[in-house]
Amino acid sequence: MPAQSDKPQYLDHTQPVDARVKDLIGRMTLAEKASQMANTSPAIARLGIPGYDWWSECLHGVARAGRATVFPQAIGLATTWNTDLMLDIATAISDEARAKYHEFVKHEDRGCCKGLTFWSPNINILRDPRWGRGQETYGEDPFLTARMGVAFVKGLQGDHPHYLKLVATPKHYAVHSGPEGERHTMNAESTEQDLRETYLPAFEACVREADAKSIMGAYNRTNGEACCASKRLLVDILRTEWGFDGYVVSDCGAIFDIYRRHRIVDTPEEAAALAVNNGCELNCGIVYPALVTAVKQGLIAEEKVDEAVGKLFEMRFKLGMFDADEHVPYASIPYSVVNCEKHRKLALEAAHQSIVVLKNENNLLPLDKSQIQSLAVIGPNAESYDALVGNYNGRPSNCWTALRGIYDHVSPEIDVHYALGAELKKESEEHIADAVSLAEHTDVAIVILGITAKLEGEEGCVNADCKGDRFTLDLPGKQQILLKAIHATGTPTILVTMSGSALAINWADKNIPAILHAWYPGEAGGKALADVLFGDYAPSGRLPVTFYKSHDDLPPFTDYRMDNRTYKFFDGDVLYPFGYGLTYSTFEYSGVAADKHEFAAHEPISVSCKVKNTGTIDSGEVVQCYIRDLQASTRVPKCKLVGFKRLQLAAGEEQEVRFAIGVKELALIDERGRAVVEPGEFEISIGGGQPYRDESNCVSVLVVATA
């Protein structure tokens, strides 16, 4: 008879994953199991389990692990309104992540941010622009966030039938968006209507549609329960209602917060047991070793620990961590993909599509190089690396600041001069005179202002006086004084702002003829900006957030009710609306129509229109479809986004666009949090932004009850 293999079942790649998990856990002690439920999981030599750190980041490129392609920050990616591009970017990121991981393992480097389990994307809703981490999100709208999030998760996790490429981790679940300084103690109170209408839809989509294999719980409490130990969130909704079959990881230190800051329980043993019993399998932190004592105290059954650690090893098996490389298709991705030419071009295209033209009076843009002999590039973000990369970033092989991009684009035909003008935040005017003198002697002044992730971000990652959030939406320091001084010279002035969320640039909107917003545009940001300024690329980005005139127009930051927030519910005048953005061309919408006038409540509504580029420049256009419920029985949004499509149209070209509005998008959310399709009249708008008063862009349909 042939000799039988001595290989244990859990190391046999031909065995079913559940059998491998059961075999491995059966060989482990309770202390060993608990040790594997911390983000830094130690090696267990006797079982051949290598050490592993579950913490890796990739919001807009592989982060904190050396060289990588740096794409525009997440808020900039949302500005593209392009799910196909997002899928391509996530695929590129996961290629680089796989290649880097296998290179790290080859050298026995298993440290933080060098694994295959990524704590991205951030799909929290940017309900308030003061939130420092808003830059990490896809903006204020649940539908746009869901569509971009689904594409990103799919690109990270891959489509192999047996192996995962990476594990994606949508975060922070749920009802989480500042203030940063209160996140460890705060109870975010949400109505059932807001919970289901605003805070949960993107998470549901990433679980149901993209099969996200991990979810990160938030620091805060939601309606009294700690998010990382909430039966309502983790058991009732996530697993029972949505069918989630992956693992939940706590935000870092969140289990510690349960007993030391939220004071829901008194001891680490109680906190660990509460979290694991309610479905949080992995602790970013140091509390879960207390599970050993918690079992002895009868706070949690060892079988529950087995179930939790089993989910973690299931993912490690599906990632191929215990299999030879020849069996894992993603192990063959070469290291040469890291920041390769293909990915650098993709970063440039993403930066192109992320730039938003906010104003272009008298068609000052694009600039005509033949009419310019010299130009001044002025401002604190003109030569700023920080303004390119945002937060949670990698390190590109090369990058283009705004100054470098402009210089490379026009030199030697045009003389390019640079002046700092003002520092980001300092209350000093010492550099303004030099900038004014420069502007007076050049043909055009390009003023590049804003903030960076040094002034907005996560608690602990920026200066202590703001805890990561902003107190105001105004330009900090003496930047507006600088801008006014440059404008007063009479030199044609273009303003470029860079930030991770909205800025209140009211004076600029009234006085500066051309304004662009570039977010944190990644490694190719300066190249992309120059291409847009000089017409080598026709801009078409659309705002994923509302630009308000002042933070004073908003409710208190700590108020999580959606009343008077975002384009759906805000009652005042805004500076630039959600979905807004100009192009260098013109577009005509015609023939907006539904397939029929009456629809049953269970039917999707099919609408279409024709879009024509009536200008002389080939250009992208973001077609947006909104719906208004005209006869709702409860509070509903003024309008809500239910579809979008990015087109690229040559001058004179026309295309038909069709949207199928599903029952989910048609339904209102009532005060009990139920999705209900009510009979009545609905108005549907298709255009380049939010609904216009022009009725030719709208069609009314009637939804009728069915027996």
How far is residue 489's CA from residue 507's CA, in Å, rounded to a whole number? Answer: 16
Q: Tokens for 428?
A: 């000093």
Residue 314: which of 215, 245, 235 has the closest Cα?
245
CB-based contact 562:194 (threshold 8 Å): yes
Give kind and range of the element (H or E) at residue 377.
strand 374-378
How far is residue 351's CA from residue 276's CA, in Å, rounded to a whole number? Answer: 42
456 is catalytic: yes
Residue range 313-339: mean pLDDT, rounded: 98
Tens of pLDDT along 161-198? 999 999 999 999 999 999 999 999 999 999 999 999 99
Contacts of 350 (CB under 8 A, 6+ apart): 71, 72, 76, 77, 80, 85, 89, 522
Per-residue confidence (pLDDT) for residue 5, from 0 to 100: 63
Residue range 510-535: mean pLDDT, rounded: 98
Residue 563: CB atoms within 10 A of its CB come to 12
Tens of pLDDT along 276-290? 999 999 999 999 999
Tens of pLDDT along 5-48? 678 999 999 999 999 999 999 999 999 999 999 999 999 999 99
Choosing from 204, 251, 458, 629, the catalytic residue is 251
- pLDDT of residue 693 exceeding 60, the answer is no
Residue range 134-150: mean pLDDT, rounded: 98
Per-residue confidence (pLDDT) for residue 3, from 0 to 100: 43
CB-based contact 448:379 (threshold 8 Å): yes
Residue range 611-637: mean pLDDT, rounded: 97
User: Average pLDDT over the chain, rounded to whole?
Assistant: 96
Q: CATH 3.40.50.1700: which residues of the chain?
A: 344-543
Choosing from 140, 281, 456, 531, the catalytic residue is 456
Backbone angles phi, psi at 453, to 5 degrees: -70, 0
Q: For helices 402-410 and 525-533, what crossing angle results, to 10°?
A: 50
Per-residue confidence (pLDDT) for residue 706, from 0 to 100: 75
- pLDDT of residue 695 exceeding 90, the answer is no
Per-residue confidence (pLDDT) for residue 464, from 0 to 100: 66
Q: Indicate the DSSP class of residue 356.
A: E
Q: How far is CA 565 from CA 77, 183, 570, in A?
A: 22, 20, 5
- pLDDT of residue 467 exceeding 80, the answer is yes
- pLDDT of residue 482 exceeding 60, the answer is yes
- Say which CATH architecture domain 344-543 belongs to: 3-Layer(aba) Sandwich (3.40)
Residue 242: CB atoms within 10 A of its CB come to 17
Per-residue confidence (pLDDT) for residue 462, from 0 to 100: 85
Residue range 566-583: mean pLDDT, rounded: 98
3-state secondary structure at position 163: coil
Residue range 344-354: mean pLDDT, rounded: 98
Tell me, which fold does domain 587-704 have in CATH? Immunoglobulin-like (2.60.40)
In this structure, which long-range contacts are made by residues 82-85, counting pairs with CB atoms below 8 Å and at least 24 apart in sequence? 82/353, 82/646, 83/147, 83/148, 83/150, 83/151, 84/151, 84/646, 85/349, 85/350, 85/353
Look at 497 and 695; give whichever has higher pLDDT: 497
251 is catalytic: yes
Residue range 247-267: mean pLDDT, rounded: 98
Q: CATH 2.60.40.10: which residues of the chain?
A: 587-704
